[in-house]
Amino acid sequence: VSLLALVLVACGGSDDGDQNGENESASDGDGKTIRAGIGLNQDHPQYKGLLKFKEIVEEETDGEITVETYHSGQLGDDRSMTEALQLGNQEVTVPSTAPIANFVPEFSVFDIPFLFPSEDVADEVLQGEVAQGLLDKLEEEDLVGLAYWENGFRDLTNSERPVESIEDFEGLDIRTMENDLHLEAFKALGANPTPMAFTELFTAMQQGTVDGQENPYATIYLENFYEVQDYVSNTHHVYSPFVFLMGKQFYDGLTEEQQQIVSDAAKEAGQHQIKLNREANATYLENLQEEGMEYTEISDENRQEMVDAVQPVIEDFKDQIGPDVVDGIMEAVEKAQAE
């Protein structure tokens, strides 16, 4: 067994179709391997999307490109995996836009609380010029943004009390994503936020380092957060897109045909992921209640108080995000809403 293990390690541990590699040009003759990693687990629609990407790419390239998929932060968290892409130590990751703002600050536009009123509006805006333009900016950071996928509307959970109105946020220790706008928005709501990588979150809730967190229902359910959280409210305070990222060095090393294949596959797998994600988010609130969580619905009036409380934060961050990007996305939201 140990000899086999050694042989596997020596071969890079992957069955990447080397035996078919003696064709084409020198640069692509050896078969290429894409290591694709995410923070969420194997049950999440995000991972199913990754498997779809693998299926399409391996089929369309006749095995010239092999895709290895990793879930549950096996390769790191959103930030460290994005850095690994820049350095050429990993090829694909699919982070939320919030941590991407640490690389391209304009992505924080999606952290503006209560920006998208619905999934339809999100779809329209993310396909629009301004959002697609943001993907182009990733190249300056040695990253290629191939498609928007969906994390979804984020809802609050905690282990202390039902959250029904802004007063209930007071003093709650909430884990936020590693993003300054998120952090300040939660302060403005009265909470006591701590930024933390997703990979550390479950333990932090279990050990009581934080009282709560915010994520879409699919994540709350599929990551078993109900085991350590008692209350859930439909705050729907932010819609998080995911971005399908590839390292630029790796992308540039692909043939034009391969670039087209991975780019199309990222989009097609994204459509599949978004469909599954919406089904999951529509289903799992019920499951959370079955698992014993108490659900609190936020009234329109109470949500409006939250919207008002975060307005100064949006103003403060407008310059940092880029006024053109903020105005452009807000106009796109209005236009989509009017349709």
Binder of ligand KDG out of 215, 235, 281, 296 (CB under 6 A): 215
The answer to whether 249 touches 142, Cβ cutoff 8 Å, is yes
Instruction: Identify which of residues 17 and 241 has a Cβ nearer to ligand KDG in the complex.
Output: 241
Is residue 273 near ligand KDG by the rule CB under 6 A? Answer: no
The neighbour count for residue 11, using CB atoms within 10 Å, is 11
Cα 221-179-329 angle, rounded to 5 deg = 95
Closest residue to ligand KDG: CB criterion: 39
Instruction: Match 């932090």 to its residue by tokens.
Output: 204
Instruction: Identify which of residues 32 and 237 has a Cβ nearer to ligand KDG in the complex.
Output: 237
Is residue 177 near ligand KDG by the rule CB under 6 A? Answer: yes
Binder of ligand KDG out of 28, 68, 78, 150 (CB under 6 A): 78
CB of 73 to ligand KDG, least distance (A): 7
E-assigned strand segments in the chain: 32-37, 65-70, 92-93, 143-153, 155-158, 173-176, 192-195, 212-215, 231-233, 239-247, 294-296
Binder of ligand KDG out of 46, 66, 235, 258 (CB under 6 A): 46
CB of 63 to ligand KDG, least distance (A): 27
From the list 173, 170, 176, the residue with the least C-alpha distance to 211 is: 173
Measured on CA atoms in the order 302, 303, 304, 308, is the torsion positive or negative?
positive
The answer to whether 214 touches 196, Cβ cutoff 8 Å, is no
Is residue 198 near ligand KDG by the rule CB under 6 A? Answer: yes
Binder of ligand KDG out of 17, 95, 193, 247 (CB under 6 A): 95
- Strands 239-247 and 143-153: what pairing? antiparallel
CB of 157 to ligand KDG, least distance (A): 12
Binder of ligand KDG out of 34, 38, 67, 274 (CB under 6 A): 38
**Rounded Cα–Cα distance for residues 78 and 114 (Å):** 23
Instruction: Identify which of residues 33 and 215 has a Cβ nearer to ligand KDG in the complex.
Output: 215
Return the range that interacts with ligand KDG (CB under 6 A); candidates 36-44, 121-129, 131-139, 280-288.
36-44
**Rounded Cα–Cα distance for residues 109 and 128 (Å):** 14
The interface mask with ligand KDG, positions 118-157, x = CB under 6 A, is ---------------------------------x------
Q: Residues in the site for ligand KDG, rule: CB under 6 A?
A: 38-40, 46, 78, 95-96, 151, 177, 198, 215, 240
